[in-house]
Amino acid sequence: MELISREEIKTLIEQPKGNCVSIYMPTHPAGPEVRQNPIRFKNLVKEAETRLVDAGLEEKDAIALLEKSHEIDTQEFWEQMGEQGLAIFISENIFRYYPLPIDFQELVVVTDRFHIKPLLPILNGNGRFYILALSQQDIRFCEGTRYSVNEVEVENLPKSLDEALQQDETAKEGQFRIATPKGGTSNPFSQPGTFHGQGSPDRDKHQEDILQFFQIVDRALHEKLRSQKAPLVLSGVEYLLPLYRQANTYQHLMDEAITGNPEILSAQELHDQAWPIVEANFQKSQEGFLEQFHELFGGDTGKASNNLKEIVSAAYYQRVDSLLVAVGQQQWGLFDPTSETVYLHPEKETGDEDLLDFVAAHTLLNGGTVYAVPPEQVPYSTPVVAIYRY
């Protein structure tokens, strides 16, 4: 099953305000324990109904709002789940569910927007990455996570060099212009389209054909990846890798690649070699955040904070550049934008929302970066720290 994307999470956050039900449940993907899934599910839906009534909804309206949840409560659904967790989002106009490779804590939240914080580990250390397996005869594109990998069909992505050059009209007419690369991590050629060395004219022409092929591949991937930030790992024989980097325009192409013939590797074998590359990148990014936070927090810059009340207001007003927030715990309260007052409550009160979820959601909506980690990984024993834009 495909992993939920950053764009889908942002879409959930942006839903019109109203009675929004968020349900997170751990699931048993296999074995006799699978029978526990529907029981737990029914209990959580019943809890959601109670919370809707507590929020002021009539019981019959609460039951009607949750009616769609029964559509997935079938034996077939639970037998085919195959994942460790299930996230469900229900409002008047929305019903979405995501089987995910995360062992969620059991949680039901009813507020005026969807609760998204348990999803955030997907966007950092357990997050999405891509693999592009390069071959003149068989191009493959995969989406992966720490836990899984899926080979994905990409619209207009040619499978082979011959297919690409036959389909490209400008290539047929001999009018193809080799573009200056806009991205990538290395450029082995001093000028686009110029090849150096002691190759024969036939060899140089073949290299030009491969580069043209890869530019067609890059254009197809651009349509899919244009708004993505997930790392892309190349797999291919060594002489193809610099040619693809020459054609690449995706800004998050990894320096390190999987070398060798990918045609003999399954998607899972590609994943097993790509994950250590990607994991190191995720870890480096988070370590970079912490290093920058400590530098700014230790000075008198005012650009870093571990004060939740300050961070709530800063996130609302688009000041938060990046955030490290604890998953698995909540801080209930309210934010009044009119007076810029933050109210913190030790226990959830009517109308409260999780302010840790609030700061994470607003940071994401405003183009910031969110790292979701276990509580013990947040500095100074606070549930959140932030770096400000200004």
Domain edges within the chain: 6-116, 129-282, 299-388
Q: How far is CA 159 from the centre of its chain?
A: 26
- Token code pair at residue 283: 């870890």
Q: In a 3-state reduction of DSSP, which class is residue 311?
A: helix
Report residue 306: phi and psi, to 5°. Answer: -120, 20
Q: How far is CA 319 from the centre of its chain?
A: 22
Q: What is the pTM of this model?
A: 0.73
Domains 129-282 and 299-388 fall in the same CATH topology = no
pLDDT number for residue 202: 73
Closest CA to 207 of 237, 160, 239, 238: 239
E strand spans, 192-308: 232-236, 258-259, 304-305
Q: Count how many residues are written for the chain.
A: 390
pLDDT number for residue 124: 65
Fold of 299-388: 60s Ribosomal Protein L30; Chain: A; (3.30.1330)
Report residue 247: phi and psi, to 5°. Answer: -85, -20
pLDDT in tens, the chain (390 residues): 566 777 888 889 888 778 999 999 999 877 777 788 999 999 999 999 999 999 899 999 999 999 999 989 998 888 888 788 999 999 998 999 999 888 888 999 999 999 999 988 877 655 689 999 999 999 999 998 887 888 999 999 999 998 888 866 554 554 444 444 444 444 433 334 444 445 566 777 889 999 999 999 999 999 899 878 889 999 999 999 999 999 999 999 999 999 999 999 999 999 999 999 999 988 898 999 999 999 999 777 889 999 999 999 999 999 999 999 998 899 999 999 999 999 999 999 888 999 999 999 999 888 898 999 999 999 999 999 999 999
- Token code pair at residue 348: 């959830």
Q: Which CATH architecture has domain 129-282?
A: 2-Layer Sandwich (3.30)
Q: Domain 6-116 classified CATH 3.40.50?
A: no
Strand pairing class (149-151; 341-344): unpaired
pLDDT number for residue 100: 86
Distance separating alpha carbons of residues 381 and 205, to the nearest angstrom: 61
Q: In a 3-state reduction of DSSP, which class is residue 132?
A: strand
